[in-house]
Structure formats: C-alpha cells, structure tokens
Structure 1
C-alpha cells in the first residue's frame, strides 16, 4: 500500500509513542525552567527558596565578608587556609576529608554532622540524640550566643569535654582551636541560617557572628559525585562477602559436574544399519498396484499425461504455464504429427479399461521419443 493511505496508517501506528515522547520532554523542560538548577538546593547562597540562604549571603557581603560558593572539595580545601568553611552537608564528605578541612581552616562550621563525622572530630565530641527545633535560650558564655540571645536551634544534641563550649541546649557546640586543628563549630540544625527563619529571634545575629569572622567564607555544598572522593569508592565486587564467593564456587563446581554427567559421551562414529532398504522402483510399482486395485484409470491417465506435458514443455523450452493450444502446435511441428492426434493423446477421453490405459502409456512414450528425435533433426522432421 502506497500513497496517502499508507502514510495515514504509519502515522496512526507511530502516534502514541511520539505523543508520549513529546509529553515527557515538555514536562522535563517546564520542570527545569520552573525549578531552576539550584533553587531547591538546601542552604544554597544563590537560592531564594525558604530552605536557601541567599538572605544571609547578602548580609555577610554587606558586612564585608567575601563569601564564595563551592561544590568541589579541592576548591574548598584551597580556600580553607586562614578562613571559615561552612559545610552544609558533612555526610556527603568522607570523614577523613573533613579532618583535612578542620586542620587547614581557621574555623569549620558543620551543619548536622552524623555519627561517622563526629568520630573524626577533635575534642571528643559525641552525638547525644535528636532534639526539637524551637527557640532556645543561649545558656552559655559564648560571645556570639550571648549577643544573639534566643535563637531557633535544635535538630540534634552533642556533648564534648572541656574546653568545648555547649550552647542552646547542646545543639550548638564550639570546640576551640587546638594544635594541628582549627576551631570547629557544630550546629544541630540549619534553621537559623535559612531565608525562612533568618529574621526570627536572634538568628541573624548568631549567623553573622559565627560566619563573619574571619572575613573570608567558603560556602561548601558537597556532592557525593565529587571526583576528589573517587579514591574512597569501593567497587561492587569488593562489597560481596567472602561467604558468597565460596557459595558461588560450590554452585559453579556443581554445574560443571552436572554438565559432565549429562553431556554426550564423545567417541568414534557408530554406523547403524537401516532395517529395510526400499528401492525407488518398488515405490512406483506399489503405487501402480494401488491404482490398479482401485480401478482408478482416470487418475492414472491424468498422471501419465501430466508427466508427458511437463517433459514436453521442458524439452521444447517453453514456459511452464504454456496454454494447451500452443503446446500442441509446437509438439505437432516438431514431431510431424497432426495437431488433433497430439491433442487426443494429451487431453483425450479417459481409458475405459486396462488395455486402453496401457495403450495410452505406450502412445505417450512414443510421442516423447518422436519429440526427442524431432529436436535432434536439423529441420524438426524425420
């Protein structure tokens, strides 16, 4: 089928997947345009969303603090000496790399660090457990906390030995600088830094005093796909327990033994004598006897005439579906016989008895013989 009808059929078949693909692409484009690439990232200084920190970034710049947003660990480590580093998600950084930042930076601020990070911190910091995020009094003599007063903190509570300072019901812990390490500030929750809560209570004052000294701030948003962390990755194979490898080897050995048991045995080729050998002539004779027994002379005659027509068509090099009149004329011309006689042999009445059937067979054989002789004679006569 060609033309407009064919194109309509093809479009009808391809329409559902095409429409689905267009819908998916359109939805993806609209989602990216509406959400943006960084608008939904928590604690992002470029984000104006409730969970972002764009308002705090503006206040810090107005106070003369040079804040830089970074997603690469190498960039954050390069900006660490003599400045402050805010790590928004310490859980995405390998604990050993957190230790490198603490040892390099003047102040390292960690937001809601987990147990794996806590174990690497100086000062014997411990995680006590979760805490309700709510306005809390400072409850300590830390200058930043006493100046800010009540602030919204909580999230998690920590404990550290002297000379660490614990404020806001243990949800803010400051571990002073020690030999080989900078000052570590632990925040149990990030609410005091976000756009949504920066104007509440003393959050703005607390955030500015914690992050605004010294005057350089590296705003580090870590990513688990950071190329700097690939050295700490383990392959999927290395995560498989040894017991599983032993079990897999046992299964493999069992499969090999089963295959060897069920496989065909290889050896010399064994010839097998057929029980009965039937010659082709016996097949023909058996079929002829069936025709004779059933007295189906018409069917036998039709087979003889069909075979003669096929051989005559092949000898004369005529098309297989040559009409009877053309075939009869060609045979008559080659053999010198009359057209009526040839037509009578090829499509005459069915024989009435066995003698007539035998006579028809002989006449067809003679016709094929004369046809062969006629083709061998230069002028087609003999």
Structure 2
C-alpha cells in the first residue's frame, strides 16, 4: 500500500492563508495609497534649483564656486528687472510668446539660448535652423571656438543650426552656434542635456558649460514658468485627487485584487523541494581558459582575443581606481597613469589601441596588461 505525501487543498490553505491575507492587505494599501496620494513633483529640466537628474543644481553650484552670481527667474519681468550687462540663459523659449521674446531681446549682454529656438529671429538673428535634428551623443567640437576647443568632447545634438561659428557638427548643421549680437554674443545650443546633473560629469560637459556661462560675473537663469497651483485651476474648485475619484472606484480596485488572488490560488500548484543534482564533470577554470585560447589561436582571432583581454582588464581595474562602471576612455587612462606611474599614451595604446598584428604582439599585450594589474593591486 502506498501512502501519498502530497499536500491536500485543506492543508495548503491552512499553511498559506496568513501569507495570502498579508499579500492582499499590502496590495490593497498600495493601490489606495497610489489612488489617493497627491502627485509627486515632476523634475524641472535645466532648473538651477532642481537636484534631480534632469535639473542643473550641480552646474549652478559650480558657477557660484567660481564667483559667478546665479539668479533663477521664472518670468520675463523678473529677467528684465535684473538689468543689463549680465549673461541671460533662456532654457525654454517655447514657454514664452513673441511679445515676451521681443522684450527679452531688449536686454543688453551675452545671451545663451537652449533647445527649440522659437524666437530665433528675435533672440538670435543670423542663426538658421537645419531641417533634421541629430542624435544626442558625445561629439568633438571640430571648430575654432575657444570655449569648445578647451572643453573637448561634449554630450550634444538635438536641433542643429547654421551660423557664423558652428561647433559639434551634425549631418546638416552644428549643435552649438555662436554669433555676434547687438548687445553681446549670442550662443545657441541644440540640446542642454550636457548641463544636467545626469551628464555634467561626463566628457568635457562641465568645462563647456562653465566656459559658456562663466564669461560674466552674473547669470540670469530664465526657466520655464511654473504652473498655477492645483487649487487655482479652472473647473477643479480646489478639490484633492481623492475627492475627484468616484466612490465606486476604490471598491472596484479591491474587488479586482481579490479576484486576482483567488484565481492565483485556484490555478496555482505547490512545488516540491528543490532536487540537487551533481554535475557529471567538474572542469577546472584553467582548462576552460586554455581551451578558449586554443580556439582563438586556431581561428587566428587575435583581434577578438585582444578585445577580451582588454575588456577584462578594464572591468577589474575600474573599481580599484575609484571609477564607476562604464567610465570613459580618457578617465580610465588618466586614473591608471596616476596610479601606476606609467606613461598615459602607453596605457591608452594597450587598453584602446589597434589589435596586435601577430601572436608575439598578443603575448606582449597580455604581459603588459598583467603588469598593470599587478601594480594596481600592490598599490
């Protein structure tokens, strides 16, 4: 006679009813909290007071450390009240009408315009937009503008323009154009992502932003005007989100959650214990490495082997020199040169140079990479 050891429905219910009830309670509380809680504040892109990834708080603090006064304003009247002789930064031209843009154009001084240039004829005469935007990515300046040449590569793209001095070129124009204006220099940027907290530390983004915005002792930073409070919107009458939700909605959500839990319990199956199975063969790590090396050699895949060696070296050394995963080529080479005392050009050639031309070159590359790793580990 065989005895069944499978759990019955009754025993499974008694064993799991506490966790089912706890899960249902958590789901109910989460749903009600999401439905009735006030909405979270959205990030304010390129706002010098916003610490989110889309904000520009870090750039504003860097400017202040250099002695530049940064005044955040959210209206044309406030920008005009700051007076002439300052650098005017406009981050959202689409938020202002033509009359307001015309008033902004009367402010004397240098001007930096970011993104969609709706008021091009008013704020930046002499700048012509290109028809197709470009992907935002790391680009080289390829121009003679001192601010761009000193910064080097930067995270730029977006809308492209044509003008007197164009930098960071795309297919049909440049992502940065600087032209002389009546009251000062006018700089037009196709995208301002390089000035955000998310990308400021990459490439030469911080240097470019400081070179463009730090030319005057004071900056008037005009951001997108704030929306009126929720209680001031027409038709709402100052009601909260919970008051606007129909009374039947919370009960419908609760019923739907209970239905899902019942269906999951009904269709679920209790699994037995995990069965441990021994591997038929234990392969040592050294044999795996040797076998892969022989395959590379048989196929003459020196380029692939060199790429694997270099990638592994960079992955292992990056955290040891205090860099985050995915750090740029220049950062890795500079950090290793300081840590090891080796020539930066030699380290860059070993990690990012062309593949070896023969097997002897591959062996020499592997030896040098191992030499660099030993120095980093010992120091």
> Structure 2 length normalisation: TM-score?
0.48
- Structure with larger Rg: 1
Normalised to the residue count of structure 1, the TM-score between the two structures is: 0.47
